[in-house]
Amino acid sequence: MKQNIQINGKTILVTGSPGFIGANLVIRLLKEMKSGTIISLDNMNDYYDPKLKEYRLGIIEETAKGSPVKHVFIKGNIADKALINDVFEKYSPNIVVNLAAQAGVRYSIDHPDVYIESNLIGFYNILEACRHSYDNDATGVEHLVYASSSSVYGGNKKVPFSTSDMVDNPVSLYAATKKSNELLAHSYSKLYNIPSTGLRFFTVYGPAGRPDMFYYSATEKLIRGETIKIFNYGNCKRDFTYIDDIVEGIYRVIQGAPAKSIGEDGLPIPPYALYNIGGGTPENLMDFISTLQEELVNAEILPKDYNFEEHRELVGMQPGDVPVTYADSEALKEDYGFTPNIRIKDGLKMFAEWYKSYKH
């Protein structure tokens, strides 16, 4: 059962905006909402070039000029409890979308501290602030939506991956923090009746995406004439999801919160839900690379006669990596009437065209 959440006139806090997914979500909200306030909160860290975050913030601010919705940007760290409490006290958000996190599987091997700080302490601060939003009988937070990840499935052999699969064997610290978020959210939903929905995103890509992700870093390496490493000798399948599909999914999910109800014990049944959002058509890594190459040539980023064979090296599996990701998004379809449907060719074309305009 879903509780309809009206977004107009509401205050929506989006942490991790102007990160990749956060910025695109905020732009969509600014276009759709008739009134209200959106708060973007981000520490603008330099995990990748912060200029890209400034660029996305510029687009957000430009969009806000033509929107009836007020936009506020706060530069800050979700691991700073006092700051988070101040933000909740000052703005009383009705909806919270927590996307701020240290992302990336490989980076978590050499930089574990920042994952604990942002993904665990930061998320805990958000949960605590949601809990106290109901103090003194205030309406408080109507829906907490937060990012989880397909990486929680680790080396899951059963495909497609379903949220009912057992995911107790993470193969990276990043995955362990994301699974922990789901567990923490469940306990807070049960104890404090916070309607919460976790979303397991599957490899999100698109214009102004993350430079640490394969399609983006491969593009830059090929331009520099360097060699791209193809992991697991190319025997990887990824369920890639175009950014607009992810935003559509989040946008719908925000507006339907798990309904509150009381169980036989007289205590709340946790208003808790979890969904996959993924394309549902895993692509062979080699096919994905061929399409990327084609689109880079079509966008005239690379010449027609570029020798791609010379610029690739097949290497073994990396620690923390998984050979396959494949989303079962049936529940999202049933509950929100939506399945991601943007094709890789179209998505990579959009990326290549954006890249050309951004760099030239």
Ligand X SMILES: NC(=O)c1ccc[n+]([C@@H]2O[C@H](COP(=O)([O-])OP(=O)(O)OC[C@H]3O[C@@H](n4cnc5c(N)ncnc54)[C@H](O)[C@@H]3O)[C@@H](O)[C@H]2O)c1
Q: Could you list the active site residues?
A: 174
Cross-strand pairs, 284: 237
> What totals of helices (H) and strands (E) does the chain contain, helices first?
12, 17
Does 193 interact with ligand X (rule: CB under 6 A)? no
Bin 62: left if φ > 0, else alpha if -120 < ψ < 50, else beta: alpha
Q: Per-residue contact track with ligand X, 110 to 129, x per CB under 6 A?
A: --------x---x-------
Among 7, 16, 216, 272, binds ligand X (CB under 6 A): 16
- Comparing CA positions, the residue from 139, 119, 135, 21 lying closest to residue 77 is 119
107 versus 188: smaller Cβ distance to ligand X: 107
Amino acid at 25: L
Angle at the Cα of 326 from the Cα atoms of 277 and 175, rounded to 5 degrees? 75
Does 43 interact with ligand X (rule: CB under 6 A)? yes
Tell me how far, at minimum, the Cβ of 108 lies from ligand X, in Å: 11
Q: Which two tokens stand for residue 134?
A: 């109901």
212 versus 294: smaller Cβ distance to ligand X: 212
10 versus 53: smaller Cβ distance to ligand X: 53
Among 3, 11, 28, 44, binds ligand X (CB under 6 A): 44
Q: How far apart are alpha carbons 190 and 193 in whole angstroms?
A: 6
Does 197 interact with ligand X (rule: CB under 6 A)? no
Among 10, 71, 179, 210, binds ligand X (CB under 6 A): 210
Q: By CB under 6 A, which span of 19-27, 154-162, 254-262, 266-274 interacts with ligand X?
A: 19-27
Q: By CB under 6 A, which span of 41-49, 248-256, 260-268, 274-282 interacts with ligand X?
A: 41-49
Does 45 interact with ligand X (rule: CB under 6 A)? yes
**Side-chain-side CA neighbours of residue 19 (13 Å):** 24
Q: How far apart are alpha carbons 201 and 275 in whole angstroms?
A: 9
193 versus 248: smaller Cβ distance to ligand X: 248
Give the H/E segment covering residue 97: strand 95-98
Among 12, 42, 244, 329, binds ligand X (CB under 6 A): 42
Amino acid at 338: F
# chain residues binding ligand X, by CB under 6 A: 27
Q: Per-residue contact track with ligand X, 146 to 185, x per CB under 6 A?
A: -x-x------------------------------------
Rg (CA), the chain: 20
Amino acid at 213: M
Q: Per-residue contact track with ligand X, 234 to 273, x per CB under 6 A?
A: ----------------------------------------
Between residue 52 and residue 111, which ones bind ligand X under the rule CB under 6 A? 53, 77-79, 99-103
Angle at the Cα of 253 from the Cα atoms of 59 and 159, rounded to 5 degrees? 105
Does 20 interact with ligand X (rule: CB under 6 A)? yes
The H-assigned helical ranges of the chain are: 20-32, 50-65, 81-91, 107-110, 112-115, 122-132, 173-192, 214-223, 243-254, 285-298, 330-336, 344-359
Among 14, 22, 215, 347, binds ligand X (CB under 6 A): 22
Tell me how far, at minimum, the Cβ of 76 lies from ligand X, in Å: 6
Q: How far apart are alpha carbons 4 and 222 in whole angstroms?
A: 47
CA distances from 170 to 90, 152, 178 (A): 38, 6, 9
Q: Which residues bind ligand X (CB under 6 A)?
A: 15-16, 19-22, 42-45, 53, 77-79, 99-103, 118, 122, 147, 149, 201, 203-204, 210
